[in-house]
């Protein structure tokens, strides 16, 4: 899996969780850049990612995720 | 000593002058000023604050140098339990009679600061501070000691490392912010406070309309009081070249309660988000929306309890949690409503709705007990043909006019300040214009300021 | 100007200069007579804080005159002379009027508490109130209504700062400067400058009302000229109850002090021209707290309020009404 692929998949995942028509994520995207992505929905997104990729993040790993790029790296690392 | 007192003014002026006159002794000056400030209330407050700071300092170093993660975890847990125990014991002493007990000022704020420091070290986000004097300044800095903002070590500690040189723009910005804070506190908050306090004290004889107006006006009093304090704290710190975190961001334009808590008492709400809510949601994430709802309710109930041990504070926090949970579960519905109503109309309606809900919840915050709060709410009347002196809750017409006009001006200022930094805009105007503005503001402060109280609402927490 | 610390300090001083000048004038002239202690407070061009004046007058004279009887209340107390009251109370009693403008029930309590705290002999206390005094329990924040340290809980610094602040109010400042320079009273100075000279007795603060002189000269024309104030003010009715928890607590505290000092206490609700009657529930509460024989209600429609000649203005009765009230209260001829 490469980052661009994951981002494409995350776009769909975010749309689903946030109930948005279209979400366009980038490597540097953070909660400030995506409407609806905040502390209320963050864990829902994490949980959905974990289910989708059959991975499990530790709490410390979650809090170190600062942007979509970090999320992609974490997914790649866990899924490997 | 209160920010609005001659003693504090003298201390502040002396500190600032010495700070820039003796650049090599800046840290010493900050520390000594902080010691004087805290010890002025009671020497025991200083002893407690220094004690907690030292416990935190050593605990931080031990956690960082622990042999393994498990040991670090136990050290963190013990430190948290110790700090929370000390906070609870001093905050709510069950043995000592209330009449003779002196509640250590600022303890709720610096204790939470200490907890965030230790947790950040454990999570690996921050390294422990090696310099004990820098750490003491972080914990005890007098401009934020009494009522925050609750500073994160990563933001504050690096700032006190270097020597500060006099920066005219920053120092004058700080002074202007202090004046704005004073304005909010003495012109608006303190002109309303005695009448609102009177209503709460005599609510059983107040009319339904008076109770309604008390409920509606209290958020304004609280906001101008607390944000006034915060502006003075941030402005004063700026004059020392130190940047403190903002605590308010135009909360009355919030369209939802969740948005309100991103704009109101931000340092506390972000603290409970980062150290209570996020860990909780991490544990309950497999429960989906149920887990998040549960986490929200626990988090906000804890936030309520931070303010005090009574059931009224529990209900205050619970109301926030329930409303935010509801908002989260009905996001789709609100989007559809906005589309149907038009965004502007939707925004207007929901700004008012958010304000009203918050005003009602603040009744639990302000009332002495749960029964008083429920009495007040259940006796609110919407009888609109009441007399003016019922509607203005006994406030003299002068106070009503001053508070109304200045509050509207404040809202307009904050609105335009968001995009334009009006303080900087005014600084660029010709001298004559600037000085006219300064004189008008200071005159209004002198003439209409109610200098009859020197305490801030959040001093009690 | 270069932007450095020196220019910052200079600008701060320049900005503060007008305020420092005004403050200097205040400290030099002491217009409210609060900065220093004076032997007499009856010579001031500004209207003073009556609570402060009364308290200082009491402290100045309590030993020489053996003041042991206190008339408390708001400006309605101008209608009862201390000298008239003394005729009805015990022969060794000397009365002083410790009133306040727009006095509140809380102020009455705090004054009694202050007297009790300095072990002042309180042989007789008479509270001359109206419905507004009973109803309003918050202390008024304005400088001219503040209770001074000693009477209230305010600190000396706060008390002084309030007057300094009051002096900065343009209407007060300009009125004071104008009158001090030109000694010419203008309508705009109403309520700020005292053009009447001596308005109270320097020993017992008994009111010396300039309107009495006017009435003596003008007779009935006084009320004809002032008929605008009296017109359409009458609304004979019963006032809604005003005694709630706050007021009741204050009344009980007053009663406790009287009980402790074995004080002969009278609570009088004075007549007002509008003929609005004190609520009967409030009257019953007052009687319960102070005793049936110690509470007297002259509000509503009666021979006092029916006669305009008993009033200077709708809210303030004259000493001729006061004398009638004293006779009714004490139910005995004076000695």
- The mean of the pLDDT values for chain A is 86
Whole-number pLDDT of residue B196: 92
Under 8 Å between Cβ of B311 and B370: yes
Contacts of C158 in chain B (CB under 8 A): 451-452, 454
Q: Report the predicted TM-score, pTM, of the whole model to 2 decimal places.
A: 0.79
Residue B19's Cβ-count burial label (10 Å; 0-12, 13-18, 19+) is buried
The number of C-alpha atoms within 13 Å of B295 and in the hemisphere containing its C-beta is: 28
Residue of C nearest to B443 (CA): C168
Whole-number pLDDT of residue A20: 76
Cite the DSSP H helix spans in C30-138: 50-65, 82-86, 105-117, 131-135
- Average pLDDT on B336-347 reads 91
Residue C319, H or E segment: helix C319-330
Final residue belonging to a domain, choices B391, B406, B421: B391
Is residue C160 very low, low, confident or very high in pLDDT (cuts 50, 70, 90)? confident
Chains with 3+ CB–CB pairs under 8 A to B are A, C
Using the Cα atoms of residue B301, residue B303, residue B304 and residue B310 in order, give the sign of their dihedral.
positive
**Cα–Cα distance between C128 and C282 in angstroms, integer?**
16
If one counts every other C-beta atom within 10 angstroms of the C-beta of residue B154, the result is 13
- Which of B166, B197, B451 is nearest residue C161 as measured by Cβ atoms? B451
**Cα–Cα distance between B203 and B194 in angstroms, integer?**
14
**pLDDT cut 70: percent of chain B above it:** 94
| Distance between start and end Cα atoms, chain A | 9
Under 8 Å between Cβ of B4 and B451: yes
> C288-310: string of b/e by CB count within 10 Å (b at 16+)?
ebbeeebbbbbbbeeebbeeeeb
Is residue B418 pLDDT above 90, yes or no?
no
Long-range pairs of B435-442 with CB within 8 A, sequence gap ≥ 24? B435/C15, B438/C15, B439/C15, B439/C18, B441/B179, B441/B183, B442/B179, B442/C15, B442/C19
B432-444 pLDDT, tens digit each? 888 898 888 888 8
For residue C54, what are its two tokens? 């009364």
Whole-number pLDDT of residue C295: 96
Is residue C335 pLDDT above 50, yes or no?
no
**What does the DSSP 8-state code read for residue C76?**
G
Stronger pLDDT, B417 or C334, i.e. the higher one: B417
Residue of B nearest to A20 (CA): B332
Residue of A nearest to B273 (CA): A39
Judged by CB atoms closer than 8 Å, whether chains meet at B194 and C139 is answered as: yes
Q: Of residues B204, B307, B334, B415, which has the active-site annotation?
A: B307
The answer to whether residues B230 and B323 belong to one domain is yes
User: Could you tell me if B277 lies within 8 Å of chain A, comparing CB atoms?
Assistant: yes
Is residue B451 pLDDT above 70, yes or no?
no
Is residue B456 very low, low, confident or very high in pLDDT (cuts 50, 70, 90)? low
User: Could you tell me if A73 lies within 8 Å of chain B, comparing CB atoms?
Assistant: no
Judged by CB atoms closer than 8 Å, whether chains meet at B328 and A40 is answered as: yes
The answer to whether residues B249 and B147 belong to one domain is no
Of A18, A1, A3, A2, the closest CA to residue A67 belongs to A3
What 3-state DSSP class applies to C127? Answer: strand
B279-335 pLDDT, tens digit each? 999 988 888 889 899 999 999 999 998 888 788 899 999 999 999 999 988 988 888
Is residue B459 pLDDT above 70, yes or no?
no
- Average pLDDT on B14-41 reads 94
Per domain, the residue ranges of chain C are: 31-330
ipTM associated with this complex: 0.86
The answer to whether residues B191 and B271 belong to one domain is yes
Concatenate the DSSP letters of all residues of C159-225 into one string: HHHHHHHHHHSHHHHHHHHHHHHH----GGGTTTB--SS--B-TTT--B--HHHHHHHHHTTHHHHH
Among A36, A47, A60, A70, most B C-beta atoms within 10 A, so best to mutate, is A47
**Cα–Cα distance between B410 and B417 in angstroms, integer?**
10
Contacts of A60 in chain B (CB under 8 A): 123-124
Judged by CB atoms closer than 8 Å, whether chains meet at B278 and A44 is answered as: no
Of C318, C13, C23, the closest CA to residue C167 belongs to C23
Active site residue B204: no
Regarding chains B and A, contact by 3 or more CB pairs under 8 A is answered as yes
The answer to whether residues B106 and B208 belong to one domain is no
Of B86, B82, B461, the closest CA to residue B303 belongs to B461
- Average pLDDT on B381-390 reads 71
In a domain? residue B446: no
Of C133, C146, C165, the closest CA to residue C31 belongs to C165
**Cα–Cα distance between B105 and B458 in angstroms, integer?**
10
Judged by CB atoms closer than 8 Å, whether chains meet at A36 and B331 is answered as: yes
Under 8 Å between Cβ of C269 and C298: yes
User: Which residues lie below 8 Å from residue C34, measured CB to CB, with a gap of 6+?
Assistant: C49, C52, C148, C159, C160, C163
What totals of helices (H) and strands (E) does chain A contain, helices first?
4, 0
- Which of C7, C168, C247 is nearest residue B447 as measured by Cβ atoms? C168
What 3-state DSSP class applies to C71? Answer: strand
Q: How far is B275 from chain A (nearest CA, A)?
A: 11
- Which of B123, B282, B324 is nearest residue A43 as measured by Cβ atoms? B282
Judged by CB atoms closer than 8 Å, whether chains meet at A40 and B292 is answered as: yes
What 3-state DSSP class applies to B346? Answer: helix
Is residue B410 pLDDT above 80, yes or no?
yes
B80-121 pLDDT, tens digit each? 999 998 888 887 766 555 555 667 888 889 999 999 999 999
**Cα–Cα distance between B224 and B369 in angstroms, integer?**
24
- Which of C18, C165, C246 is nearest residue B451 as measured by Cβ atoms? C165
**Cα–Cα distance between B240 and B19 in angstroms, integer?**
8
C78: left (phi over 0), alpha (psi -120 to 50) or beta: alpha
A44-65 pLDDT, tens digit each? 899 899 988 888 888 888 888 8
The answer to whether residues B366 and B227 belong to one domain is yes
User: Which residues lie below 8 Å from residue C200, measured CB to CB, with a gap of 6+?
Assistant: C41, C42, C53, C97, C206, C207, C208
User: Which residues lie below 8 Å from residue A51, measured CB to CB, with a gap of 6+?
Assistant: none
- Average pLDDT on C295-303 reads 92
Is residue B362 pLDDT above 90, yes or no?
yes
Assign residue A71 the CATH number of its domain: 1.10.1200.10
Q: How far is C318 from chain B (nearest CA, A)?
A: 28
Q: How far is A5 from chain B (nearest CA, A)?
A: 25
Is residue B224 pLDDT above 60, yes or no?
yes
Domain residue limits at B271? 171-391
Contacts of B273 in chain A (CB under 8 A): 39
Number of domains in chain A: 1
Whole-number pLDDT of residue C150: 67
Domain residue limits at A48? 3-79
In a domain? residue B413: no
The answer to whether residues B203 and B107 belong to one domain is no
Whole-number pLDDT of residue C120: 92
For residue B355, what are its two tokens? 């304000």
Is residue C151 very low, low, confident or very high in pLDDT (cuts 50, 70, 90)? low
Whole-number pLDDT of residue C287: 96
Residue C297, H or E segment: strand C295-297
Question: How many pairs of residues across B and C have Cβ atoms under 8 Å apart?
Answer: 67
């Amino acid at each position: 899996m490469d980052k661009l692929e994951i981002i494409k998949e995350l776009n769909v995942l975010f749309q689903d969780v946030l109930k948005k028509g279209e979400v366009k994520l980038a490597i540097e995207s953070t909660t400030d850049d995506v409407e609806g992505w905040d502390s209320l929905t963050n864990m829902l997104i994490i949980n959905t990612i974990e289910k989708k990729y059959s991975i499990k993040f530790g709490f410390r790993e979650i809090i170190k995720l600062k942007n979509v790029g970090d999320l992609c790296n974490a997914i790649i690392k866990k899924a490997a | 000593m209160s920010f609005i007192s001659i003693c504090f003014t003298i201390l502040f002026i002396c500190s600032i002058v010495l700070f820039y006159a003796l650049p090599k002794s800046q840290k010493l000056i900050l520390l000594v000023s902080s010691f004087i400030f805290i010890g002025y209330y009671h020497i025991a407050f200083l002893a407690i604050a220094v004690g907690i700071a030292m416990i935190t300092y050593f605990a931080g170093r031990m956690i960082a140098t622990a042999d393994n993660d498990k040991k670090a975890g136990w050290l963190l847990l013990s430190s948290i339990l110790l700090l929370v125990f000390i906070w609870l014991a001093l905050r709510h002493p069950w043995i000592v009679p209330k009449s003779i007990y002196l509640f250590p000022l600022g303890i709720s704020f610096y204790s939470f600061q200490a907890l965030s420091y230790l947790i950040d070290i454990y999570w690996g986000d921050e390294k422990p501070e090696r310099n004990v004097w820098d750490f003491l300044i972080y914990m005890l800095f007098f401009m934020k000691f009494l009522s925050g903002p609750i500073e994160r070590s990563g933001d504050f500690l690096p700032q006190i490392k270097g020597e500060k040189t006099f920066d005219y723009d920053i120092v004058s910005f700080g002074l202007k912010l202090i004046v704005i804070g004073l304005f909010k506190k003495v012109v608006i908050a303190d002109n309303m406070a005695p009448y609102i306090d009177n209503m709460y004290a005599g609510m059983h004889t107040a009319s339904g309309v008076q109770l309604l107006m008390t409920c509606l006006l209290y958020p304004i009093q609280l906001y101008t009081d607390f944000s006034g304090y915060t502006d003075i704290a941030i402005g004063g710190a700026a004059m020392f070249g130190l940047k403190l975190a903002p605590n308010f961001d135009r909360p009355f334009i919030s369209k939802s309660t969740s948005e309100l808590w991103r704009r109101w008492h931000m340092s506390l709400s972000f603290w409970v988000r980062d150290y209570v809510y996020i860990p909780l949601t991490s544990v309950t994430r497999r429960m989906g929306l149920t887990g998040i709802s549960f986490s929200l309710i626990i988090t906000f109930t804890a936030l309520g309890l931070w303010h005090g041990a009574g059931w009224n504070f529990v209900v205050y926090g619970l109301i926030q949690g329930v409303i935010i949970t509801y908002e989260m579960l009905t996001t789709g519905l609100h989007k559809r409503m906005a589309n149907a109503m038009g965004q502007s109309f939707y925004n207007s309606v929901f700004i008012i709705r958010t304000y009203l809900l918050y005003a009602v919840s603040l009744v639990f915050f302000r009332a002495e007990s749960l029964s008083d709060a429920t009495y007040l709410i259940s006796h609110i009347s919407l009888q609109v043909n009441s007399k003016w002196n019922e509607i203005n809750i006994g406030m003299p017409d002068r106070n009503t006019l001053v508070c109304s006009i200045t509050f509207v001006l404040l809202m307009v200022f904050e609105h335009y300040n968001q995009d334009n930094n009006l303080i900087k805009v005014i600084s660029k105007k010709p001298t004559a214009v600037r000085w006219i503005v300064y004189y008008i503001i200071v005159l209004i402060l002198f003439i209409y300021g109610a200098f009859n109280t020197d305490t801030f609402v959040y001093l009690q927490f | 100007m270069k932007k450095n610390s020196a220019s910052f300090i200079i600008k701060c001083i320049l900005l503060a200069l007008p305020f420092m000048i005004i403050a200097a004038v205040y400290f030099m002239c002491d217009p409210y007579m609060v900065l220093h202690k004076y032997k007499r407070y009856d010579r001031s061009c500004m209207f003073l804080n009556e609570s402060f004046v009364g308290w200082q007058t009491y402290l100045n004279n309590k030993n020489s005159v053996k003041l042991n009887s206190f008339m408390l209340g708001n400006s309605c107390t101008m209608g009862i002379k201390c000298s008239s009251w003394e005729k009805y109370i015990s022969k060794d009693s000397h009365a002083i009027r410790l009133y306040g403008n727009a006095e509140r029930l809380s102020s009455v309590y705090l004054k009694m508490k202050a007297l009790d705290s300095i072990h002042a002999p309180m042989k007789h206390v008479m509270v001359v109130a109206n419905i507004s005094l009973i109803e309003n329990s918050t202390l008024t924040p304005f400088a001219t209504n503040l209770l001074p340290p000693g009477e209230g809980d305010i600190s000396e610094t706060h008390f002084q700062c309030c007057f300094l602040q009051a002096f900065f109010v343009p209407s007060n400042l300009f009125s004071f400067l104008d009158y001090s320079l030109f000694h010419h009273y203008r309508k705009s100075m109403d309520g700020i400058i005292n053009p009447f000279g001596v308005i109270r007795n320097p020993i017992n603060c008994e009111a010396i009302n300039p309107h009495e002189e006017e009435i003596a000269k003008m007779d009935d024309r006084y009320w004809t000229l002032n008929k605008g104030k009296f017109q359409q003010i009458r609304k004979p009715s019963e006032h809604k109850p005003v005694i709630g928890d706050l007021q009741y607590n204050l009344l009980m505290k007053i009663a406790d002090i009287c009980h402790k000092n074995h004080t002969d206490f009278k609570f009088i609700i004075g007549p007002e021209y509008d003929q609005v009657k004190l609520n009967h529930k409030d009257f019953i509460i007052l009687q319960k707290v102070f005793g049936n024989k110690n509470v007297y209600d002259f509000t509503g429609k009666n021979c006092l309020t029916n006669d305009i000649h008993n009033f200077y203005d709708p809210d303030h009765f004259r000493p001729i009404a006061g004398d009638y009230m004293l006779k009714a209260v004490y139910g005995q001829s004076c000695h």
